[in-house]
Amino acid sequence: MQNTTRSHILYSARRRQVLATGLGLGLSAFSLGIARANTAVKGDLVLYTSQLLQDAQQTVAAFEQAYPNVKVRWVRDGTTQLLTKLRAEFAAGAPQPDVLLIADELAMAGLKREDRLQPYKDAPFEGFPASLREPGGYWYGTKLITTGIAYNTAAKMAPKRWWDLQQPEALGQIDMPSPLYSGAAMVMVEAFTQHPNLGWKYYEMLAKQKTIAQGGNGGVFKNVSSGAKLYAALVDFLAIRSEQKGAPIHFVFPEEGVSAVTEPVAVLKTARNVDAARAFVDFCLSAPGQELVARQGMMPARAGIIPPPGFPKLGSFKLLNVDADRALDAVEADKKRFSALFA
Residue 310 maps to a domain: no
Query: Is residue 336 assigned to a domain?
Result: yes
212 and 285 part of one domain: no
d(CA 178, CA 185) in angstroms, rounded, equals: 6
In-domain check, residue 154:
yes
At residue 57, the pLDDT reads 97
- 276 pLDDT band, cuts 50/70/90, is very high
Give the start-end residues of each E strand in the chain: 7-10, 43-49, 70-76, 99-101, 117-118, 140-141, 143-152, 174-176, 212-213, 231-235, 249-252, 259-261, 264-268, 299-300
> Quick one: how many helices (H) and strands (E) in the chain?
12, 14
Is residue 311 in a domain? Answer: no
Lowest mean per-residue pLDDT among 35-44, 113-122, 247-256 = 35-44
Res 285 pLDDT > 50 = yes
Cα pseudo-dihedral 49, 50, 56, 60, rounded to 10: -10
pLDDT above 50: residue 18: no
Same domain, 270 and 125: yes
Instruction: Say which residues have a Cβ less than 8 Å from residue 175's Cβ, sequence separation at least 6.
Output: 211, 212, 213, 220, 223, 224, 228, 229, 231, 232
DSSP conformation class of 182: -
Whether 196 and 186 share a structural domain: yes
Across 24-41, b (16+ Cβ under 10 Å) vs e yields ebebeebeeebeeebeeb
136 and 33 in a single domain? The answer is yes
Q: Are 206 and 293 contained in the same domain?
A: no
Q: Both 23 and 133 in a single domain? A: yes
Same structural domain for residues 137 and 34? yes
Residues 6 or more apart whose Cβ sits within 8 Å of residue 64 = 11, 16, 20, 70, 71, 72
Residue 256 structural domain: 144-260+318-341
Residues 67 and 35 in one domain: yes
Residue 312 lies in a domain: no
Is residue 20 predicted with pLDDT exceeding 50? no
For residues 196 and 334, membership in a common domain is answered with: yes
Identify whether 2 is part of a domain.
no
The overall average pLDDT reported for the chain is: 91
Query: Structure pTM?
Result: 0.88
pLDDT band at 134, cuts 50/70/90? very high
User: Would you place residue 36 in the very low, low, confident or very high pLDDT band (cuts 50, 70, 90)?
Assistant: low
- 175 and 230: one domain? yes
Domains held by the chain: number: 2
Whether residues 109 and 216 fall in one domain: no
Q: Are residues 255 and 266 in the same domain?
A: no
Q: Is residue 60 part of a domain?
A: yes
pLDDT digits (tens, 9 = 90+) for 84-126: 999 999 999 999 999 999 998 999 999 999 999 999 999 999 9
Average pLDDT over residues 49-65: 96
- Give the C-alpha separation, 318 to 257, whole Å: 4
Residue 148: partners with Cβ closer than 8 Å, 6 or more residues away? 233, 234, 236, 251, 252, 253, 254, 258
CATH of the domain at 28: 3.40.190.10
Give yes or no for residue 28 having a pLDDT over 50: no
Q: 9 burial class (0-12, 13-18, 19+ CB within 10 angstroms)? A: middle
At 141, which amino acid appears?
Answer: G
- The answer to whether residue 225 sits within a structural domain is yes
Rounded to whole angstroms, the Cα distance separating 190 from 327 reads 6
